[in-house]
């Protein structure tokens, strides 16, 4: 089975999972989605029309996919298109089911949390296979590549405008500030659940420092360049405070996505070495990360 075929199976699976999250958990709980999805959801809630959400979702995604083709990359845009098409078909074709009661006094919180977790997992699955679920994820990919920030972070910013619009529509429809605040609380839970799930599962733009203590710095250096040819490293001599023995400290800055492969290469090249890693912030924009596309 070719790698390309597996990638597209995962891409379609991401779209199906995202559609399930929307249809059975997120939309029934009446929370405001992020970005243009939030505008589509708010209008569908106001007019009580599920087909309206599908139509608006499709229109908004078409514009964002055009942006992806021109500013992010052709492969990324094409795979995002497949995800969006899968979401639209699944939203229209999945059977009507109810897994919990969406009223605040009943099980709305369960729908919101599980929907957020499932949506975040679907987004991470799409990103891991060089695609996205569209909407703010396209902008997230663009700004992550430009500013080296986790892709889920853009969802927080995209949520501000859509949430304000959605809450305004809620107030206009019901006229009660209590329902508006209630929707705001549940919306915040959904946004953070989905964004944190995405950031915890997709590590391409999380930067870490790997430090290796070794007596064979040349082998470690070769392992680094062989595993990640675009990465460099620094070597510093050291002396053990207790033993007085000399050693070499090799440091390299990599993404968490690259970390497991590099650790395996280090352990294979020098099994007696000692290594550890820690996350770092504030890295220069000149730091290179391979494009998503």
Identify the residue with better confidence: 266 or 135. Answer: 266
Query: For residue range 189-205, what is the model confidence (pLDDT) as tens digits?
Result: 998 899 889 888 887 77
Average pLDDT score, the chain: 88
pLDDT of residue 155: 63
Give DSSP secondary structure letters for 190-233: HHHHHHHHHHHH--TT-EEEEEEEES-HHHHHHHHHHH-TT---
Query: Where is average pLDDT lowest: 128-142, 203-217, 248-262?
Result: 128-142
Distance separating alpha carbons of residues 130 and 125, to the nearest angstrom? 9
Does position 150 have pLDDT exceeding 80, yes or no?
no
Q: For residue 293, what pLDDT is reported?
A: 57
- Mean per-residue pLDDT, 233-247: 88
Mind listing the domains of the chain with CATH numbers?
A: 3-201 (no CATH), 207-279 (3.30.70.120)
**Rounded average pLDDT over 74-83:** 93
User: What does the pLDDT average to over 134-148?
Assistant: 78
Percent of the chain with pLDDT over 90: 53
Residue 291 has pLDDT above 70, yes or no: no
Q: Report in angstroms the alpha-carbon separations of 51 from 23, 55, 96, 102, 125.
A: 11, 6, 13, 19, 26
pLDDT, position 162: 86
Instruction: Point out the least confidently predicted range of 49-58, 94-103, 229-238, 256-265.
Output: 94-103
Confidence of residue 149 (pLDDT cuts 50, 70, 90): low
């Amino acid at each position: 089975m070719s790698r390309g075929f597996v990638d597209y199976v995962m891409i379609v699976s991401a779209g199906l999972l995202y559609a399930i999250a929307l249809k059975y958990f997120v939309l029934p709980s009446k929370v405001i989605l992020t970005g243009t999805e939030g505008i589509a959801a708010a209008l569908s809630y106001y007019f009580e029309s599920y087909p309206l959400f599908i139509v608006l979702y499709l229109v908004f995604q078409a514009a964002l996919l055009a942006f992806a083709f021109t500013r992010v990359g052709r492969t990324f845009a094409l795979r995002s298109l497949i995800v969006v098409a899968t979401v639209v078909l699944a939203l229209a074709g999945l059977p009507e089911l109810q897994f919990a009661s969406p009223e605040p006094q009943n099980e709305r919180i369960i729908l919101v949390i599980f929907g957020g977790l499932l949506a975040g997992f679907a987004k991470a699955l799409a990103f891991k296979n060089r695609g996205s679920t569209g909407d703010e994820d396209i902008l997230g990919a663009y700004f992550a590549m430009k500013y080296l920030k986790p892709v889920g972070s853009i969802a927080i910013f995209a949520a501000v405008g859509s949430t304000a619009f959605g809450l305004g529509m809620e107030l206009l429809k019901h006229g009660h500030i209590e329902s508006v605040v209630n929707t705001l609380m549940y919306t915040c839970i959904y946004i953070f659940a989905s964004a944190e799930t995405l950031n915890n599962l997709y590590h391409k733009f999380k930067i870490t420092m790997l430090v290796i203590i070794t007596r064979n710095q040349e082998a470690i250096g070769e392992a680094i360049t062989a595993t990640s040819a675009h990465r460099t490293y620094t070597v510093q001599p050291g002396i053990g405070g207790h033993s007085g023995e000399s050693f070499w400290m090799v440091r390299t800055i990599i993404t968490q996505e690259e970390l497991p492969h590099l650790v395996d290469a280090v352990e294979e090249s020098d099994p007696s070495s000692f290594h550890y890693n820690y996350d770092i912030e504030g890295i220069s924009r000149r730091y290179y990360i391979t494009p998503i596309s």
